[in-house]
Structure 1
Amino acid sequence: MTTPTTDLPSPVAPAERMLILDAIRGFALFGILMMNIEFFQRPIQALMLGFNSEQSGLDYAVAWLSFTFIQGKFYTLFSLLFGLGFIVFIDRARQKGAAATALFRRRLWGLLAIGVVHLLFIWSGDILHLYALVGFLLLLFVNASVKRLFIWSVVLLLTPILLILLATQLLEMAMQVPEEAAKLEAGFAADKEKLLADIARGDLLYATGGYWQLVQWRLYEFQAMYLSPALVLFVPMILGIFLLGAALGRSGILQEPQQHARFFWRLMWLGYAIGLPLTLTWGIYGTDVEMVTASMRNAVLMTCQNFSNLALCLAYLATLVQLYLHKSRLIGWLAPAGRMALSNYLLHSIVFTLLFYGYGFGLYGDLGRAAATFWALLLYGSQLWFSHWWLQRYRYGPMEWLWRSLTYRKRPLFAR
């Protein structure tokens, strides 16, 4: 099939890319790996149990640092960048005379295909498919102003939090009635028993199962995790973060950070002033919070976590902008990894599933959190170097090239 050039502009050339956005994406990649390394040795459903308090010593310390300062913050940062990238993509496509929304839909379908393959055939912790599906809702805001994007972002971020607090309050009121309390407690106990059985089954399969057994199990995990009522609350939060990123993109602040240095300075300090106390509250008191049993204490602590996720995400972003404005070498090291974020993200899963799972080297459960994190740091460091090496020879990462091919229905130049 052939399509007129006006409908399908060329992919973004390396010279057109924004260094600061690539650097932030490379930094977000680091945080995602530091969080995901836990769930290459735990079933993804174990997320519902919260912090793993069975660890001790250095393993506990490393896990706690990740739980407090990384978990939730970097997924939020990645989501923010996705929304910002949506605006950049749409605006650039329009400047080139393209049917921008049709092009973005194809981009999302391509991401969805990559995400589903990753989810079923490599690792069940995939986030790409969810980003793609929620990304279709962004098209409702394709012409929205900065103000409208920001207002909808606030509404979507606050609504699930308020609903959780309200639902928890109603549950606690119901628990005051003995008959209702007995029913609710029995329901919570049954849910937890099923969850623990699923986690035990997942541990066994990941440690000893064959490849096709795990493909079937990942399909089951997908149904259990992503087709649950909790998705009703999770989707608005993702979309809210997308829209906040879109508002930043439409404002042009990150496209011209030199002209907004004071804004980023204030954002950095405000983010840390709000985020650090909240995340320390979460880190100190939230290690026993689980998502199976509802309580107002848990709901309040999770609210602290949600606000700290956003505040520290913005503080981290603003810190990187400050480093960029001061011409830090770190930005130059992070940017190539960010340009190849999709390839690097998928490589994390390939390397660690082969290392840990029964059909690979079978080390599942043998490495403590500290040792596993060391290997994750080693992989990330090698990716920083390799991304430099690769992009000196090729225009795109391999998966970025594939994604662009699916989006533009033509194969962009690969080698330099």
Structure 2
Amino acid sequence: MTSALRPVTPGERIEELDVVRGFALLGVFLMNVEFFGRSVRGIGEGMPPGLTGIDWFASWFVAYFVQGKFWTMFAMLFGMGFAVMLMRAERAERPFLRPYLRRILALAVFGAAHFIFLWSGDILFSYAVAAGGLLVLLYGKWKPIVLALVALIAIAFVPGLGSSAAIAGSLAFISLMALYMRSEKKVFKRIPVFSFLFLLLGTLGALASIALWLVPDGPKDPRVPVTTISGLFLLIAFLSARFHNPVELRPLRLGVALYVLPTLMMIVMGTVQYVSPPDPKDAVATVEARKEKAEKAEQLAEHEQKKREEERVLSSGTYADAVGMRARDFPKRIAEQTGMAVIAIGMFLIGFWFVRSGIMQNVSAHLPLFRKLTMYGLPLGIGLGILGSAIATTHTPGSETDGFLLANALVMLGSLPASLGYMGLVVLALNSRSSLSSVRVLAPAGRMALTNYLLQSVVSTLMFYGYGAGYWGLARSWQVAFVIVVFGLQVAFSHWWLSRFRYGPLEGVWRAFTYRQLGTMRTSSSPSAAPPP
């Protein structure tokens, strides 16, 4: 029998999720604030050159103790929320897929509006795209998946399609992941279908790689990428066959693999580029090489021109100018989400496993696990980032010799263990008997994460953009101080709001769209009138 719709009572909430989400909100703000006073197109270029003193330290601290650690944490929390919603629907015998589709559609609308009307560094739209991929991975029907997989692989290799090919390739990859997660079929009664497909692709890639290296006058640029990718595919084939069971661990293993393996590929390519940079003579040796060099120069010039235009519009233009610029950029943003979505799905799966395994519902029984995450994750993750900073902290666009690709790959590799370490640290603090347990003060901010995330953009654009207070380019140390003050006010506001209302203002809208019901917002109202979370 289907149970009546009802809200989560205070006793049903997992407090650790709310507190960790509040902590992640602070980390994301620390990371994002730089790009309210600097072009968003500069993301991925490292620390701004020319910093000194406390501004250099503030930028370095955020780059290697914060950057990459908190969006991954937020993504894991998103996966945990997915699992909680699924389990509650299963217990109540309620439908899950249609409400969740409405939920991610609403999130996509929030993200698109955030991008166009406030800030082009939005992450919500990326999460919505990734959540759609997660549904395909976990619930897609096999016949459409297989047909789509064949078609998408074919499309991905059609020349001249640009971003469309990238989207097709990413969707094909997600379809392949569904085979690992849900298929028990085997080839030759021994090799899982997923593993066999990657073995086949890896073998074909290895043969192509051998040909590229053996042909004296053949193209040199594809040698390292083709060799690396084919090796990665063969590694995936081996690991997926070796660690296909138990079924319960597949979300965790696939999630880790989706994050770590592409990062390892970046490390290999970055190491080759750093140790053996391309020979300048080769860059102009053939007509094709000269053409490719000219295309790269043109793309770089276009990137720099757009970056200068963004800086001009946001530092001195009107609000209408800013909205128009972002609206023109948004269609391209959609195409760029696919690569990010694959990595985000990996984080969703890790979070999904934390809830499905029962860890987050009974944290006190799993404190030793969180101690290990803290003791090993933080030193490893932060250490890899600091190692990267010793190689390079700043990237010159267009340069292939500054070592930044390798440095950035090390930071990325360390972000996952560091994120898990931070999460473990917060959980341990919350469950301690000391004053550290006061970290629970962050819980209301975490319960209103959507409202607070968007509110950060509202306040920051009014602070830094030309149509606001105009503090574009504010010193990094003052940016950090700004974050601390604003976030402190957000925590206080969240406590005040939730003492009067059940949900944050945008959380209420999100729930209403998800369940197609207007829940009761006031805390004094009957709990039976509102939908579940």
Is 135-144 or 288-297 further displaced after alignment?
A: 288-297
Q: Aligned match of 1:129 in 108, 117, 125? A: 125
1:305: how far off?
1.1
Q: Aligned match of 1:404 in 486, 511, 528? A: 511
8 Å Cα contact 1:342/1:400 also seen in 2: yes
Q: Aligned match of 1:334 in 425, 442, 445? A: 442
CA RMSD of aligned residues (A): 2.5
Larger Rg: 2
Q: Aligned match of 1:146 in 248, 252, 258? A: 248
Q: Distance in 2 between matches of 1:259 and 1:137?
A: 33
1:160 aligns with 2:262: yes
Closer/same/farther in 2, CA of residues 415 and 166 from structure 1, 3 Å limit:
same
8 Å Cα contact 1:83/1:242 also seen in 2: yes
Closer/same/farther in 2, CA of residues 403 and 291 from structure 1, 3 Å limit:
farther
1:176: how far off?
6.9
Q: Aligned match of 1:267 in 373, 394, 399? A: 373
Q: Aligned match of 1:216 in 289, 311, 324? A: 324
8 Å Cα contact 1:8/1:408 also seen in 2: no
1:390 aligns with 2:497: yes
8 Å Cα contact 1:10/1:408 also seen in 2: no
Match of 1:42 in 2: 38
1:173: how far off?
6.6
Is 159-168 or 51-60 further displaced after alignment?
A: 159-168
What per-residue deviation string (whole Å, max 9, x for no partner) do you get for residues 233-272 of structure 1? 3222111111111111211112211101111111211102
8 Å Cα contact 1:172/1:296 also seen in 2: no
Q: Secondary structure at the match of 1:53?
A: coil
8 Å Cα contact 2:256/2:346 also seen in 1: yes
8 Å Cα contact 1:62/1:370 also seen in 2: yes
Match of 2:386 in 1: 280
Residues 181-260 of structure 1 correspond to what in structure 2 (within 5 A)? 182-223=290-331, 225-228=333-336, 231-260=337-366
5+ long unaligned stretches in structure 1 = none
Q: Aligned match of 2:486 in 379, 383, 390? A: 379
Closer/same/farther in 2, CA of residues 52 and 408 from structure 1, 3 Å limit:
same
Q: Distance in 2 between matches of 1:211 and 1:291?
A: 29
Q: Aligned match of 2:5 in 5, 9, 14? A: 9
8 Å Cα contact 2:64/2:382 also seen in 1: no
Closer/same/farther in 2, CA of residues 223 and 51 from structure 1, 3 Å limit:
farther
> What is the letter of the counterpart of residue 373 of structure 2?
L
1:135: how far off?
0.4
1:292: how far off?
4.6
Q: Distance in 2 between matches of 1:290 and 1:336?
A: 41
Match of 2:89 in 1: 93
1:8: how far off?
8.1
TM-score (norm 1): 0.91
Residues 293-308 of structure 1 correspond to what in structure 2 (within 5 A)? 293-294=399-400, 297-308=403-414
Match of 2:170 in 1: none
> What is the letter of the counterpart of residue 55 of structure 1?
L
1:83: how far off?
1.1
1:138: how far off?
1.5
Q: Secondary structure at the match of 2:43?
A: helix
Q: Distance in 2 between matches of 1:303 and 1:140?
A: 29
Closer/same/farther in 2, CA of residues 137 and 360 from structure 1, 3 Å limit:
same
What per-residue deviation string (whole Å, max 9, x for no partner) do you get for residues 211-236 of structure 1? 221111112343555534xx553222
Q: Distance in 2 between matches of 1:296 and 1:59?
A: 23
8 Å Cα contact 1:48/1:291 also seen in 2: no
Q: Distance in 2 between matches of 1:222 and 1:292?
A: 24
What per-residue deviation string (whole Å, max 9, x for no partner) do you get for residues 270-292 of structure 1? 10231122011123333123565
Q: Distance in 1 between matches of 2:128 and 2:66?
A: 23
8 Å Cα contact 2:266/2:406 also seen in 1: no
1:337: how far off?
0.6
What per-residue deviation string (whole Å, max 9, x for no partner) do you get for residues 62-111 of structure 1? 11110110011011111111111111111112212211122111111111
8 Å Cα contact 1:275/1:312 also seen in 2: yes
Q: Secondary structure at the match of 2:361?
A: coil
1:190: how far off?
2.7
Q: Distance in 2 between matches of 1:318 and 1:147?
A: 20
1:369: how far off?
1.3
